[in-house]
Amino acid sequence: MTRQSRTLPAGSERSLHQAYDTALLDLDGVVYAGGEAIAHAVDSLAAARADGMHLAYVTNNALRTPDAVAEHLSELGIPTEAGEVITSAQAVARLIAGQVEPGAKVLVIGGEGLRVALRERGLVPVDSAEEDGLAAVVQGYGGPDLPWGRFAEASYAINRGVPWFASNTDLTIPGTRGIAPGNGAAVEVVRIATGAEPQVAGKPLPPMHRETVLRTGAKRPLVVGDRLDTDIEGAFNGDVDSLLVLTGVTDAAQLLRAEPKYRPTYVDRDLRGLLTGQPEVVAAEGGGFRCGSWTAEALDGVLELRGEPRGEEAGPSGAGTANDALDGLRALCAAAWTQAGDGSCGLDAGKALARLGL
């Protein structure tokens, strides 16, 4: 399915792990949150790998090295090698290396992941804006304990005209206690102090997609993520298919409002969606769109949902099982996206989503 025609979620008779050769998986909000594995992630990834799907972990989080990420995943029960991890630190290091001389000094505002990636490209990470011959400033997520003074150090160099690069601009990052500020929030601090704009490498921009393709060699990739503005938009920009999982920052209401570049090919509750086919969404007789037992239509300023959960699946709330509720969400997506066209759907979906328990 091409990005230009994405006005409804796609169906797939084959399970996704058989329809695609490589899953390009985001980490935060997809595989783990706050360092702990998300429910069903370990077993689902093991099953997909055992059946021949290649797994690659693609993260905008530049804090940790691929070795550290691989070790963490392995500890969670997901055997992983460092070569299967692609980070925005690697993408931004390649971007910088293409614009400065070999061995150039780069001021690092962030963590060890940036330093290792710069050294891999033959560059020299430094800590002070006063270094002679400073060629660039690079900013990446440094964790909650990154000192405020590091933003000042970046500002001093950038205000003198040193080129500024950022690994990514995700404003938030999910954790076990909730949503916290991400590197994008830190980039905003430096932007306010300097009035400058960084060159950005991470998802959803082309440098990250290029880095991923170069390192994985994927032929039929499926991007799997939880964020519309990085994972799904990155897949859109790369013209590849995507699966949105609802285990991270995106909720059902945000999905219904998605503009074309933020609309995933498929949507599922969690990584178990890799192991199944995807139900087809079709035009319903009398108007609207049908998926499973649900029909959704844009009527009189609201998104209306008709139908009932399948009887054997109905729970105490009347919402049915998780799969049944997702069928309703897929139908709502088709109605909302078709109504919105190239824009964002502003119709009220509150009652419809409440019926689904979403």
Query: Look-up: residue for tokens 């039929």?
Result: 220
178 - beta bridge partners? Answer: 175
Strands 172-175 and 178-181: what pairing?
Answer: antiparallel
- Between the CA of residue 5 and those of 8, 139, 216, 264, 265, what are the distances in Å? 8, 36, 27, 11, 10
Question: Could you say which of 21, 26, 43, 226 is catalytic?
Answer: 26
Which residues does 141 contact at the CB level (< 8 Å), separation at least 6? 60, 61, 62, 63, 110, 111, 167, 168, 170, 173, 182, 183, 186
28 is catalytic: yes
Query: If we measure between CA atoms, which residue out of 261, 271, 253 comes closest to residue 336?
Result: 253
Compute the C-alpha angle 83/84/90, nearest 5°: 65
239 is catalytic: no
Alpha-helix runs per DSSP H in the chain: 16-19, 41-50, 66-75, 88-97, 112-120, 149-159, 183-194, 206-216, 233-238, 252-256, 322-340, 350-355
Query: If we measure between CA atoms, which residue out of 267, 225, 223, 234 comes closest to residue 356?
Result: 267
Query: Look-up: residue for tokens 């993520």?
Result: 225
Which residues does 284 contact at the CB level (< 8 Å), separation at least 6? 290, 295, 297
Residues 259-289 as b or e (16 or more Cβ within 10 Å = b): bbbbbbbbbbbbbbbbbbebbebeebeeebb
> Do the beta carbons of residue 229 and residue 197 sit within 8 Å?
no
> Do the beta carbons of residue 31 and residue 57 sit within 8 Å?
yes
The whole-angstrom separation of Cα 148 and Cα 141 is 13
109 - beta bridge partners? Answer: 139
Give me the active site residues, please: 26, 28
